[in-house]
């Protein structure tokens, strides 16, 4: 936590751009904020249009069974959010109400449902595509956009618990997915530069949990499996990852039995746009009043 994070959050709340909901990292969004997110989404779609990705929209929850199979809990147990629900009898209901009224813990009897909150927009996709059978020769390309949940409460407005990720996901041969990632590394940087924000591209790693996770993080960095496009939002020294470019090798392909037409395990890669982070970066660099944003930026986003 830094004072500049607290100060930027205060500004956003005072201007009604974000709306306090009583939990760190959970905010309402104003119409203006949503407009920026929507315009940016349209701009991204324009950059990707010629690729003709298949558009799929999933709700912000996924199958618990598929989530378990994905191995997410091995890597990021600290971030996961599961949906629990009451399934007791009248007596247990009375206890529950009494506990709530007494300000005691009432969640003990809550039982896990078949739904968990989506941790990254691409997680529900792989089992769906695997179920379709062998991939066509050109592989697959998908356009996703979903609210995601990560349990990382923070007063940094750029670190939310519920936020949107727009993703393009490529499934195919290693060459196909690496070409895809390379092209988005270039497009992503060009796209963000055209919006007048300072960017730095860097090798990155996911926040794998625990001591064993250190090895995974080092391996990810050594093999350059993850890049991030960083933009300063609340700190010049520690800019924020706004776009991610991930090469999963055959991790999801093996897990879900994704097969290329040559009957080899498919490789996967995804590019993720943190929609709230991009919007916040624009508010930070161009000001809280969108009508005064630089002309070229307004032209790109609103066409005026």
Contact between 242 and ligand AMP per CB under 6 A: yes
269 is an interface residue for Zn ion by CB under 5 A: no
Shortest reach from residue 151's CB to ligand AMP, in Å = 9
Q: Does 163 bind ligand AMP (CB under 6 A)?
A: yes
State the SS3 of 240-299: EEEEEEEEEECHHHHHHCCECCCCCECEEEEEEEEHHHHHHHHHHHHCCCHHHCCHHHHH
Q: How many residues does the chain have?
A: 304
Question: Shortest gap between Cβ of 152 and ligand AMP (angstroms)?
Answer: 5
* Residue 284 sits in the site that holds ligand AMP (CB under 6 A): no
Q: Is 277 in the site for ligand AMP (CB under 6 A)?
A: yes
Distance CA 10, CA 287 (A): 14
Helices and strands in the chain, H and E counts: 11, 12
The answer to whether residue 270 forms part of the interface with Zn ion (CB under 5 A) is: yes
What does 130 bind: ligand AMP, Zn ion, none (CB cut-off 5 to 8 Å by kind)? none
Q: What does the buried/exposed string (b/e) look like for 263-289 if buried means 16 or more CB atoms within 10 Å of the residue's CB?
A: eebbbbbbbbbbbbbbbbbbbbbbeee
> C-beta of 36: minimal distance to ligand AMP in Å?
15
Secondary structure (3-state) at 180: helix
Q: Which of the listed partners (ligand AMP, Zn ion, none) does 122 bind, with a CB threshold of 5 to 8 Å by partner kind?
A: Zn ion
> Does 230 sit near ligand AMP (CB under 6 A)?
no
d(CA 51, CA 53) in angstroms, rounded, equals 6
Q: Quick check: 39 binds ligand AMP (CB under 6 A)?
A: no
Taken in order 67, 71, 75, 77, is the CA torsion positive or negative?
positive
**Partner whose binding site includes residue 150, from Zn ion, ligand AMP, none (CB under 5 to 8 Å by kind):** ligand AMP
Contact with Zn ion (CB under 5 A) among 17, 122, 225, 229: 122
Q: Which residue of 62, 117, 135, 165 would you call a contact of ligand AMP, by CB under 6 A? A: 165
**Residues 6 or more apart from 72 whose CB is under 8 A from it?**
80, 119, 123
Binding partner at 293 among ligand AMP, Zn ion, none, C-beta below 5 to 8 Å by kind: none
Q: Phi and psi at residue 5, in whole multiples of 5°? A: -65, -50
Cβ(244)–Cβ(214) under 8 Å? Answer: no
- Give the dihedral sign, CA 87/91/92/98: positive
Q: Which is nearer to ligand AMP, 242 or 290 (CB)?
A: 242
CA distance linking residue 164 with residue 253, whole number of Å: 25
Q: Tell me the window of 102-110, 157-165, 171-179, 248-256 that interacts with ligand AMP (CB under 6 A).
A: 157-165
Query: Is there binding between residue 280 and Zn ion (CB under 5 A)?
Result: no
Which of 39, 145, 150, 181 binds ligand AMP (CB under 6 A)? It is: 150
Q: How far, in whole angstroms, is CA 304 from its chain's centroid?
A: 30
Return the number of the residue (129 or 148) whose C-beta is nearest ligand AMP: 148
Q: Which is nearer to ligand AMP, 83 or 162 (CB)?
A: 162
Binding site for ligand AMP (CB under 6 A): 120, 150, 152, 159-160, 163, 165, 228, 241-244, 272, 274, 276-277
């Amino acid at each position: 936590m830094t004072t500049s994070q607290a100060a930027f959050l205060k500004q956003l709340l005072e201007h009604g751009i974000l709306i306090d909901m009583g939990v760190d990292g959970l905010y309402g969004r104003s119409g203006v904020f949503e407009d920026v997110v929507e315009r940016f989404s349209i701009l991204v779609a324009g950059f990707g249009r010629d690729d003709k990705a298949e558009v799929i929209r999933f709700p912000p929850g996924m199958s618990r069974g598929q989530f378990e199979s994905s191995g997410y809990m091995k890597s990021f147990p600290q971030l996961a959010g599961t949906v629990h629900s009451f399934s007791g009898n009248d007596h247990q209901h009375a206890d529950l109400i009494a506990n709530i009224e007494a300000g005691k813990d009432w969640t003990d009897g809550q039982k896990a449902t078949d739904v968990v909150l989506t941790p990254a927009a691409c997680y529900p996709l792989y089992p769906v595509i695997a179920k379709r059978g062998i991939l066509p020769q050109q592989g697959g390309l998908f356009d996703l956009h979903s609210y995601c949940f990560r349990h990382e409460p923070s007063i940094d407005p750029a670190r939310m618990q519920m936020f949107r990720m727009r993703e393009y996901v490529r499934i195919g041969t290693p060459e196909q997915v690496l070409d895809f990632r390379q092209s988005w590394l270039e497009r992503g940087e060009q796209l963000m530069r055209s919006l007048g924000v300072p960017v730095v591209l860097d090798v990155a790693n996911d926040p794998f949990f625990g001591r064993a996770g250190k090895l995974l993080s080092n391996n990810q960095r050594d093999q350059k499996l993850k890049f991030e496009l960083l933009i300063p939002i609340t700190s010049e020294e520690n800019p924020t990852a706004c776009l991610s470019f991930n090469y999963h090798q055959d991790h999801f392909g093996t897990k879900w039995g994704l097969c290329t037409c040559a009957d080899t395990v498919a490789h996967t890669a995804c590019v993720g746009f943190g929609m709230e982070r991009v919007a916040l970066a624009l508010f930070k660099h161009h000001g809280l009043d969108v009508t005064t944003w630089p002309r070229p930026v307004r032209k790109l986003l609103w066409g005026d």
